[in-house]
Amino acid sequence: MAIVGAFMVPHPPLIVPDIGKGGEKAVQQTIDSYEKVADEIAALEPETIIITSPHSILYSDYFHISPGKGAKGDFGDFGAAHISFDERYDEELRDRICDIAESQDFSAGQLGERNPKLDHGTMVPLWFIRRKYSGGKIIRIGLSGLGLLDHYRLGEMIKQAVDEVGRKVVFVASGDLSHKLQEHGPYGFAPEGPKYDDRIMDVARRAAFEEMFEFKEDFCEKAAECGHRSFVIMAGALDGMAVDAKVFSHQDVTGVGYGIASFYPTKPDESRHFRVDYLEKINEQLADKKAASDEYVNLARKTIESFIISGKVIDVPKDLSKELLTKQAGAFVSIHKEGRLRGCIGTIGPTTDCLAIEIIQNAISASTRDTRFNPISPEELPYLEINVDVLEAPEDIDSQDQLDVKRYGVIVTSGHKRGLLLPDLEGVDTVEQQISIATQKGGIYPGEPIQLQRFEVVRHSEGAFPK
């Protein structure tokens, strides 16, 4: 058997009448669509329902797949504890997904469960489904802070496991759309909100899953969406298949977007291996950038590749420019993957005999010792974007009026605590933001006296990540 149908659904508790208490009528179109989806799932009679939920356990670098024999949950947090669920997990299929992930050294499994209770992102879809269909077990999977390609790849592993175990499976991608669609909504309005909803519903209508990779992280954050990564896992689970898509409805009356769509795989289609195609596109663009990169970036890249693959620190190349071999300066090495920060370590002032050694040391640290991230793995190397910022000497300033986020970086000092932020960073648009982030990085508390310094950098970049 295989995945016989997939559904994109929202999870607002208010659409459950005992919770909405009449307020659910404002989204009656969504409710009607949900009922149709539940009817279709019941007609499919799946042996297993896989649900991906943004409100299950979430880690920055790991996909949590719920362990155990099953789980219970209720809507007590929403004033309706009498509505409860007692679900059994498909342990065989779940364990196979985990085995495949482990065999591919992929960061997913059953570790780290903090709360075994079912979350509302899982229970809202089940509330509709279980009134029409009581059969089948479930698998509950959380999202992660990893990139969209990793979410799609997890979907591919789910598809492989389903095919190997021989289950008849329905995939439910639980997730609301933007939370910033109306001024009167609970999260206010942002122009990215309706743009996100329009784009994702258009993607759903055409089953153009390859376009899901083109939603930039900062755009999604400004739109305050919660379901995009859930939808990407679903897309991966349909990899290599032609799909009949149907959009049932989209509503934004509460200020939060609710979209409902179905996707039925029909036959194999070799043109729909979207992750592989996207990686090929990235490789082409990164090859062009590498050829066009200067010696600063190429030195950092050569260092990272050598250390990650062999554990060896390269010798300083003899053919470098005089500046790299003789100048002393602080330098930051920044690494991005899929447009997301993957590591950044640097020095405010010189700590070595020359700039080349400064870059070599900081490239190794950025790729393996940035405590915010796991060390970079060999398979990631082709997909990294590397920037090198060489810092000019900092100068004291009297006020923030002497800063410019595009031109100057900032150093905030309070006693022995110090935080730094580079200039011209995506998403940092004001001096106030710049100072606030640098203050937080330095562990400086609000109200503590601070001194400001500014500095300029010479940025050596491979160019913007493919959009």
Task: Give kind and range of the element (H or E) at residue 324.
Answer: helix 322-326
Both 14 and 107 in one domain: the answer is yes
Q: Tell whether 280 is covered by a domain.
A: no
Give the tens place of pLDDT for each residue, 76-121. Answer: 999 999 999 999 999 999 999 999 999 998 999 999 998 999 999 9
Both 231 and 295 in one domain: the answer is no
- The CATH number of the domain holding residue 408 is 3.30.700.20
- The CATH number of the domain holding residue 7 is 3.40.830.10
Both 384 and 261 in one domain: the answer is no
Both 296 and 205 in one domain: the answer is no
Overall domain count for the chain: 2
Give the tens place of pLDDT for each residue, 291-342. Answer: 778 999 999 999 998 898 888 999 999 999 999 999 999 999 999 987 788 9
Three-class secondary structure assignment of 32-49:
HHHHHHHHHHHHHCCCEE
Cα 66 to its chain centre, rounded Å, is 20
Both 83 and 130 in one domain: the answer is yes
Distance CA 455, CA 420 (A): 10
Both 320 and 258 in one domain: the answer is no
Q: Percent of the chain, pLDDT > 90?
A: 83
Q: Tell whether 29 is covered by a domain.
A: yes
Give the tens place of pLDDT for each residue, 158-185. Answer: 999 999 999 999 999 999 999 999 998 8
Retrieve residue 421's tokens.
């932020």
Nearby residues of 330 by Cβ (< 8 Å), 6 or more positions away: 346, 347, 348, 349, 350, 351, 358, 390, 391
Both 152 and 193 in one domain: the answer is yes
Both 428 and 356 in one domain: the answer is yes
Around Cβ 213, how many Cβ atoms within 10 Å? 25
On the question of pLDDT at 226 being above 70, the answer is: yes
Q: Tell whether 466 is covered by a domain.
A: no
Both 268 and 292 in one domain: the answer is no
Residue 463, pLDDT score: 52
Evaluate whether 419 touches 362 at the Cβ level (below 8 Å).
no
On the question of pLDDT at 466 being above 60, the answer is: no
Nearby residues of 458 by Cβ (< 8 Å), 6 or more positions away: 389, 390, 392
Both 249 and 291 in one domain: the answer is no
Both 81 and 217 in one domain: the answer is yes
Q: What is the pTM of this model?
A: 0.75
Q: Tell whether 278 is covered by a domain.
A: no
On the question of pLDDT at 276 being above 60, the answer is: yes
Distance CA 73, CA 11 (A): 15
Give the tens place of pLDDT for each residue, 143-153. Answer: 998 888 889 99
On the question of pLDDT at 157 being above 90, the answer is: yes
Q: Which domain covers residue 44, as residue numbers?
A: 3-272
Both 233 and 299 in one domain: the answer is no
